[in-house]
Amino acid sequence: MSTVELTADSFEETISGEGIVLVDFWAEWCGPCKQFGPVFEAASEANPDITFGKVDTEAEQQLAGQAGIRSIPTLMLFRDGMLLFNQAGALPPQALGDIIKQARDLDMDEVRRQAGAAEQAAEAGEVGLDDFAAAHAGGAFVLDVREDHEFTAGHVPGAVHVPMNDLPTRVAELPTDQPVFVICAVGGRSRQVVDHLRTQGIKAFNVSDGTSGWAQRGWPLER
C-alpha cells in the first residue's frame, strides 16, 4: 500500500491500532529525508499489510514536538499500539527490511509481559543495568553509597559519593528536580537507600547488580 499522511487528528488513532505501523517524520527541506523517502515508499509497496505513515514536521510542528522529534528523518515503529523502534537517520533498504522482519517475528505476548514487569520494577524504584547505562549516558545523577575504600577502588564515571551511613544527614545535597540513581556493589545497600529516599520525596531508583555488574560488563570505572 502507499504511504499515508498523518496529522495531529489521525496520528494517535493510527498508531494505537492492531498490527504494525511505521511512521516517517520528515520535512521538504531535509536532504536525508528525501534520500529515505523512496526507501520508505518501496517498503510500503512490498508490505501491503503494514501501515506506512508520514508526518510533515513543518506542517505538524506541535505533533513533532509531542513525539520528541529532535532530528529528521526519524522512524518510529509501533505494533499493536506499542512503540518498538525509534531512531533518527536515513536507513538503507536492507536495514529497514530487517527492522520490519524483527517486528513481524516478535512474540507480542512476551513483549507485553516484559513491558509490564519493567513498569512494575520502575514503580518499585528498580532499574536494570541497560536502562541505567542509557540514563547515565544522558547525564543522570548517580549516587554511590559504598564505603570510601570501595569508591576509591573504582566507581561509575561521574558518580557522587555519599556513604550509606552518612546519607541521613546529607539528603539535602541531593537534587529534587531529577531522578537519583543509587548504586552500591551489588544492589543491597542501594535498595535500602532508595526506600529511604522515596520516603523523603526524592525520585530514587536502585541500580540492580550495582557496580560489580557494571564492571563485569567491561564498562569503564573511574579511580
Q: Catalytic residue positions?
A: 30, 33
Nearest to 69 by CA among 84, 79, 58: 58
CA 6 and chain centroid, separation: 24
Residue 26's SS3 state is strand
Residue 70, C-beta contacts closer than 8 angstroms, at least 6 positions apart: 88
User: Going by C-beta distance under 8 Å and a sequence separation of 6 or more, which residues neighbour residue 105?
Assistant: none
C-alpha cell at 181: 540513581
132 burial type by CB count under 10 A (0-12 exposed, 13-18 middle, 19+ buried): buried
Q: For Cα atoms 181, 135, 16, give the angle at the middle one, nearest 5 degrees.
A: 120
- C-alpha 138/C-alpha 120 separation (Å) is 23
What phi and psi, each to the nearest 5 degrees, are found at residue 199?
A: -70, -20
